[in-house]
Amino acid sequence: MSSAKRRKTYAFHEEWETDFLFTNVNDKCVCLICGFSVAVGKRCNVQRHFVSVHGNFSHEFPTGSNLRKEKCDESVDASDTAQLALFVRMVFEDFSTKEEFLTLLPLKTSTRGIDIYNVVKGYVVDKKFPIRKLVSITSDGAPAMTGRHNGFIAHCKADPDFPKFLNYHYNQLHSTKGKATSELQIVPGGMRRGSRGSSPSYGHQVVKSRSKTQQLWFWF
């Protein structure tokens, strides 16, 4: 049997977008929530990632529910828009941690530090987010994040609504060819109490081939 016949190909199935929050980008299966791409586009692979990494999503938005359908429908309008994914991580008195996906916000103009800051600050104000509990930020070192005067971190530090926080640069998070991503991670530079209230609402929009996905993590 020739190698061409032995080689098995896998096709993306449209139902994976609603079942497992994956989309097809340049013939790769890409997670709509975190931007992760699976090596082989098989159902078991996309399902494993969704269940193990984003298991709480199905709890908040059950499969087949109108709420889940609305979240998936929102993806249509964001095919060429840069995205800012917001996550929250909390540390509790017993030292246990909890991670939740908050929402995904479009960066409609550009991805300068001031643009990222304005989007984040607008969300913080609108949702009455407890930003005073912020501990630290870890970024990939991109100028839009770490610029001394015009970077996102600089704008946050100049804002009296933000507390004093630590910031780090993680160079391995730099963008790779074909995947323009930048991650901010707010990690525990100190211990502060969290509250086990209701889980934050989820949101997602499709990240297409020309999109840029930036992630922001909050530690409390």
Ramachandran category for residue 22: left, alpha or beta (phi over 0 → left; psi -120 to 50 → alpha) = beta
Residues 22, 43, 208: CA angle, nearest 5 degrees: 20
- Which whole-number Å values give the CA distances from 148 to 27, 152, 160, 179, in the listed order? 39, 9, 17, 25
Return the CA Rg of the chain: 18
Query: What local confidence, expressed as pLDDT, does residue 157 receive?
Result: 92
pLDDT greater at residue 211 or residue 28:
28
Q: Please enumerate in sequence order all residues whose Cβ is within 8 A of that of 148, keeping only pairs 6 or more positions apart, or say none.
A: 154
> 0.85 exceeded by the pTM?
no
Query: What local confidence, expressed as pLDDT, does residue 154 receive?
Result: 92
Tokens of 38: 């699976």
For 90-103, how does the pLDDT look when each residue is reduced to its tens digit (9 = 90+)?
777 788 877 776 77
Task: For the chain, give the mean pLDDT.
Answer: 68
Query: What local confidence, expressed as pLDDT, does residue 8 receive?
Result: 54
- 139 and 185 in contact (C-beta within 8 Å)? yes
